[in-house]
């Protein structure tokens, strides 16, 4: 585990207009399901020296914490995948409003891959982290959406990583899509970053399906 800088965590307040996705996702079968209720999950757990960050299984969830203004941290499931659709429940439980957290697909141990993140202030982005660049690059810039529940309310996130097609949903509503071909395989992860106070976020009920898409490619 290492840090990703997060200058972009001071989020913009612009709004976005909801639209329909340009591709239809077809689920091919469940690959994994993680509920974190009992036993070893296979996800990374650790504590950074000085209590700067941690991931642990606690109270039936995968729980992460990171001090403010230090960057993104992540935990990976260490399962190799290519084309998947993922659904998860995410909830910030402590810290300042406006922290970023979500899911990471096609990731490596250094945190390179695609970040699908929301904030507890009701915003979202799709980012890409690449080797040799500290701050993730926006593929879809931070923006607001009314579908995202704010504060310490739980949100259900769904992401699509199929071929070069990337899409993000929150609470059943489409948020955004983009195309990028830099990463075609990797692990699934959860990710969070904090501004101001230390942020605590719980991740639960993670479902992973193999997937394909129909329509424009």
Mean pLDDT on 134-141: 92
Mean pLDDT on 161-187: 96
| Single pTM value for the model | 0.91
Residue 36 has pLDDT above 60, yes or no: yes
Tokens, residue 183: 């990463």
Tell me if 84 sits within 8 A of 31, measured CB to CB: yes
The domain that contains 185 carries what CATH number? 2.60.120.560
User: What per-residue confidence (pLDDT) applies to 69?
Assistant: 78
Does any domain span residue 1? no
Does any domain span residue 12? yes
Calpha distance 199→19 (Å, rounded): 31
Does any domain span residue 103? yes
Tell me if 114 sits within 8 A of 105, measured CB to CB: yes
Does any domain span residue 149? yes
Q: Which of 8-12, 41-45, 159-163 shows the highest mean pLDDT?
A: 159-163
Mean pLDDT, the chain, integer: 88
Does any domain span residue 156? yes
Residue 9 has pLDDT above 80, yes or no: no
Phi-psi region of 196 (alpha: psi -120 to 50; beta: other; left: phi over 0): left
Does any domain span residue 164? yes
Q: How confident is the model at residue 40 (pLDDT cuts 50, 70, 90)?
A: low
Does any domain span residue 18? yes
Count up the domains in the chain and report the number. 1
Q: Quote the domain boundaries for residue 118.
A: 7-214
Does any domain span residue 94? yes
């Amino acid at each position: 585990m290492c840090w990703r800088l997060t200058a972009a965590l001071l989020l913009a307040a612009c709004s976005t207009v909801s639209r329909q996705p340009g591709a239809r996702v077809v689920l091919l079968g469940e690959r994994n399901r993680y509920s974190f209720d009992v036993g070893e999950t296979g996800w990374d757990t650790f504590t950074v020296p000085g209590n700067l960050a941690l991931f642990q299984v606690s109270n039936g969830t995968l729980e992460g914490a990171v001090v403010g203004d230090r960057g993104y941290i992540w935990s990976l499931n260490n399962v190799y995948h290519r084309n998947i659709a993922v659904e998860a429940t995410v909830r910030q439980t402590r810290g300042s409003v406006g922290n970023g957290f979500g899911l990471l697909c096609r990731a490596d141990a250094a945190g390179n891959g695609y970040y699908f993140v929301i904030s507890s202030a009701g915003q979202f982005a799709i980012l890409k982290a690449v080797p040799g660049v500290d701050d993730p690059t926006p593929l879809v810039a931070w923006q607001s959406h009314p579908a995202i529940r704010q504060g310490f309310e739980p949100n259900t996130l769904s992401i699509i990583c199929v071929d070069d097609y990337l899409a993000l949903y929150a609470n059943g509503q489409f948020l955004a899509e983009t195309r990028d071909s830099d990463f075609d395989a990797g692990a699934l992860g959860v990710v969070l970053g904090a501004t101001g106070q230390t942020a605590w976020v719980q991740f639960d009920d993670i479902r992973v399906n193999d997937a394909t898409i129909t329509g424009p490619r």
